[in-house]
Amino acid sequence: MEKIRRLESSKSINDIIKISEINNSTFDHFIPLFVRQALASSGEVFVSEEGGSLRGLYIYDPIEETGTCFTNSTSTAKNFYSLGLGAEFFSEIKFKEGAKIEKINYLNISSYENSLSIKNPVEILNSSKIYDIIKFLKKAYHKVNEKWVAVAMETGEKCFCCKVDNHIVGMGWISPFMNLARLHSLYVEPEYRYISIGKDLLISRLYYAAHSGINKVISEIPEQSIYSQRIATGQGFRNDGFIYNYLRTESDNNRA
């Protein structure tokens, strides 16, 4: 019978490495980083086991009320979902209808030949600007785990931004981990969209990756974001799978 237990510290990181070896997920390479960041920022990490074998991993942020499971088992994904944690549940496995779909895109950065040709100035913010970063993220996403921002920067993530009149109007992150990198959390204020800020943040992060020993970059883009998909395709990204975002309903919580 499959059992779920909660990891209390990063001392159990060997469990995570084993999961990343058997999961066959696009994000396997990043799982140890995700776990370290979660445990250092008041997140919760759960492992599913059956007969002494690891079946999957679930990372939950109680502040942002989002969780992501990493498994190649439909039953394990359902078991994590039945924990009833949070408002959003992400999984690479489709196990019920009604999910929002995000395309997982990849780019072999070794073949990326574009120069740093951008229309808007882009800068990398350091930890001295953490207050400004958190302020912008709260405006963009409302619920933000402030501890995660500090931990992310401590673990090597880079925060790129565009400013207008010294005011941040666009932001995007890159998570370099060994020879891979993940682009995430791109947001541009509505009144500043369609003037190449999103594209410039993408190009700047790709340029950074290409000059930092990165071999491959991945990024998740909502299926309905046609403009962002078009820009990514134009830079050479190709589809590598899907991730499903399940918005939990009150009836789901009552059944959990």
Dump pLDDT digits (tens) for 57-92: 999 999 999 999 999 899 999 999 999 999 999 999
pLDDT at 7: 85
In whole angstroms, give the CA distance from residue 131 to residue 137: 10
Class of the CATH-defined domain 106-243:
alpha beta
- The percentage of the chain sitting over the pLDDT mark of 90, rounded to a whole number, equals 75
Dist. CA 163–CA 173, nearest whole Å: 15
* Local confidence band at 215 (pLDDT 50, 70, 90 cut-offs): very high
Report the C-alpha gap between 159 and 106 in whole angstroms.
Answer: 20
| Residue 112 CA: distances (Å) to CA of 107, 171, 174, 196, 205 | 8, 22, 16, 19, 12
Q: Write down the domain spans for the chain.
A: 3-95, 106-243
* pLDDT greater than 90 at residue 132: yes
**Predicted confidence band of residue 254 (pLDDT cuts 50, 70, 90):** very low
- For residue range 222-250, list pLDDT tens digits in order: 999 999 999 999 999 999 899 999 998 75
Average confidence (pLDDT) over 180-202: 96
Give percent of the chain with pLDDT exceeding 70: 89
Cβ-contact 89, 79 below 8 angstroms: no
Common-topology check for domains 3-95 and 106-243: yes
Please report which confidence band the pLDDT of residue 25 belongs to, taking 50, 70 and 90 as the band edges: confident
Output the CATH code of domain 3-95.
Answer: 3.40.630.30
Classify the C-alpha dihedral 92-31-134-211 as positive or negative: negative
Q: Which of 53, 49, 36, 59 is nearest to 4 (CA)?
A: 49
CA distances (Å), 4 to each of 8, 80, 230, 241, in order? 13, 8, 40, 27
